[in-house]
Amino acid sequence: MAGDLGSVRRARRGLLAGSVTAVAGAGLLAACGADGTGGSGQPAEKSASPAELRLSIWADVQDLDVYTSMINELQRAHPSIKVSGEQYASGQHYEKLKTLFAADEAPDVNYFQGWFWQPYALQGLLLPLDGLLSKDKALQRVVPANYEAQSKLRGKSYMLTADTGPMVIFYNKDLFDRAGVPYPKEGWTLDDMVDMARKLTRQESGVQYWGYQANGGYLRNFPWIRLNGAREWDSVVEPKKSQWDSPGVAKELQTQLGDMINRFRVAPPRTGVPADQNHIQFGYAAMKMEGPWFLPQMWGPKAARQGGLQYDVAPMPRGAQQHAVHLQHGHTVNAKTKRQDAAWELVKWIQSEPGQRRIAEGGRMCNLPETSEKLWAPLASKTYNFANVQALLQTQKTGSINVVGGVSEAEINRDGGLGDAINDIMDGKATATQALSVAQPKIQALLDAYWARQGGK
């Protein structure tokens, strides 16, 4: 998303008409009227009326169900708080939040992915939570160090994690068994993965099976870049220097995206083959890096292939080091909320065991590793028929994010040309060295412009 919300400060109010789904379960109220009447047309009785909050909810059906139940439970425990949740049209969550913040109409509490909220905080739109955290013993707990990049900025806490998405290697056990290849284990290496992929790539009865399904984009490829010590930035948080043209970065991306597809031919091409003929969830690829949201596609009533697949998961392979994606999603408080105490009670409820139990029942991993182990792991293993929950739990403790700050991944991909560079590598139109040398000066220019706006601080 663009870093400057001020450019849309003059956006006309009311642009959300027709794009908001209000959660109106038992006891839920619609958002307060702008005239201070509470939407009733009559003056609100401040001494008797409950604090009315708005909460933005991620635009998935399961999240609507999860948060409807969570809100109802909160309101039964805290009758002095009424919450209305709202979802925006699919794929429009951030565009709507951007418009709402620009018009001073943003909800009191907002759901963010951990790498998207930083531009809002830099403009003073989000409430630093440290003062509230320091007074609340229930939330004074040990949070893994790998959470900080997605929850803090410049020494202040802005987001409390509600659910997480550590990414591991999913593998199709049937394809491994048919090829006589042992399953991946803890401590396996990138060389092991490449060797397995070669043995697993084969044709049977005229049907093509692939050893590996590569991911496009930057977010899902940064662990491979860093596997042997290369770094694409001088810092993951608010970088000042782009290092995309370094030989180590090019080498790892060439192996992962160029060679696996075009040289070794163990992964399907990016385009030209229908998804249901080359994707792991349909049974045609043996390995793929994914997160816990992918479990329902592999097993259960929503499985991509009828009857599901016999599969399991493994930790990311090692090089000289081991890296993995760990996505965090959570809640921030609007700096301009007039109901700060009630907003904090809502955020705390989402963090509590009743709230986290609802998160786990909805399929998402919980906020902290110990909560996931207690609430999510037993449910997930049984529901989605896989064994190695420890691979996901361990990655939750150690995984990281690609980049956060005032220059977003979306800008880097779009304006810095990184998206085009990655596609050109996957399509065999350019080597990684060639493609990244084109993107490097554009990416550095984005960083330079950002820091110039910050006064060089």
> What are the structure tokens assigned to 227, written together?
């596997």
Smallest CA-to-CA distance from 158 within 129, 137, 182, 187 is with 129
Q: Give the residues across from 171 on adjacent strands.
A: 287, 312
pLDDT at residue 138 in the model: 82
pLDDT value of position 8? 40
Q: Are 391 and 313 in contact (CB under 8 A)?
A: yes
Q: Do 192 and 288 reside in the same domain of the chain?
A: yes
Verify that 116 and 248 share a domain, yes or no.
no
Give the C-alpha separation, 191 to 453, whole Å: 44
Tokens coding 267? 């992964």
Count of structural domains, the chain: 2
Q: Is 208 helix (H, G, I), strand (E, B) or coil?
A: strand
Long-range Cβ pairs for the range 178-184 (8 Å, 24+): 178/204, 179/286, 183/312, 183/314, 184/287, 184/314, 184/317
Share of the chain above pLDDT 90, in %: 84
pLDDT tens digits for 29-76?
Answer: 233 333 333 333 333 334 458 999 999 999 987 899 999 999 999 999
Q: What is the structure's pLDDT at 79? A: 96
Let me know whether 28 and 78 are in one domain: yes
Q: Are residues 347 and 235 in the same domain?
A: no
Burial letters for 149-178: b for 16+ Cβ neighbours within 10 Å, e otherwise? bbbbbeeebbbbbbbbbbbbbbbbeebbee
218-252 burial, b if ≥16 CB within 10 A, otherwise e? bbbbbbbbbbbebbbbeebbbbeebbbbeebbbeb
Instruction: Give residue 299's pLDDT.
Output: 96
Beta carbons of 279 and 304 less than 8 angstroms apart: yes
pLDDT digits (tens, 9 = 90+) for 205-220: 999 999 999 999 999 9
CATH of the domain at 277: 3.40.190.10
Q: Which residues contact 140 (CB under 8 A, 6 or more apart)?
A: 133, 134
Structural domain span for residue 183: 168-325+402-453
155 shares a domain with 209: no
Q: How much is the pLDDT for 140?
A: 82
Taking the C-alpha atoms of residue 290 and residue 214, their distance in angstroms, rounded to an integer, is 10
Q: Are residues 194 and 228 in the same domain?
A: yes
In order along its 457 residues, the chain shows pLDDT tens digits of: 444 444 443 333 333 333 455 554 433 323 333 333 333 333 333 445 899 999 999 998 789 999 999 999 999 999 999 999 999 998 999 999 999 999 999 999 999 999 999 999 999 999 999 999 999 888 888 789 999 999 999 999 999 999 999 999 999 999 999 999 999 999 999 999 999 999 999 999 999 999 999 999 999 999 999 999 999 999 999 999 999 999 999 999 999 999 999 999 999 999 988 888 899 999 999 999 999 999 999 999 999 999 999 999 999 999 999 999 999 999 999 999 999 999 999 999 999 999 999 999 998 999 999 999 999 999 999 999 999 999 999 999 999 999 999 999 999 999 999 999 999 999 999 999 999 999 999 999 999 999 999 986 6
Question: Do 50 and 130 share a domain, yes or no?
Answer: yes
Nearest to 392 by CA among 295, 282, 286, 285: 295
pLDDT tens digits, 167-192: 999 999 999 999 999 999 999 999 99
- Residue 352 tokens read as 């509590």
Residues 229 and 272 grouped into a single domain: yes
Last residue of a domain, one of 397, 417, 439: 397
Give the DSSP letter of residue 320. Answer: S
- Give the 3-state secondary structure of residue 112: strand
- The verdict on 264 and 199 lying in the same domain is yes
Position 21 scores a pLDDT of: 57
* Residue closest to 197 by CA, chosen among 156, 139, 270, 255: 255
Q: Is 71 left (phi over 0), alpha (psi -120 to 50) or beta?
A: alpha
Q: Is the domain of 359 the same as that of 276?
A: no
201 and 230 belong to one structural domain: yes
Amino acid (1-letter code) at residue 172: N
- Do 202 and 82 have their domain in common? no
Residue where one domain finishes, among candidates 353, 368, 397 = 397
Predicted local distance difference test score (pLDDT) of residue 20: 53
> Which of 376, 397, 418 delimits the end of a domain?
397
Q: What count of other Cβ atoms lies within 10 Å of the Cβ of residue 141?
A: 10
Are residues 26 and 327 in contact, defined by beta-carbon separation less than 8 angstroms? no
Distance CA 349, CA 355 (A): 6
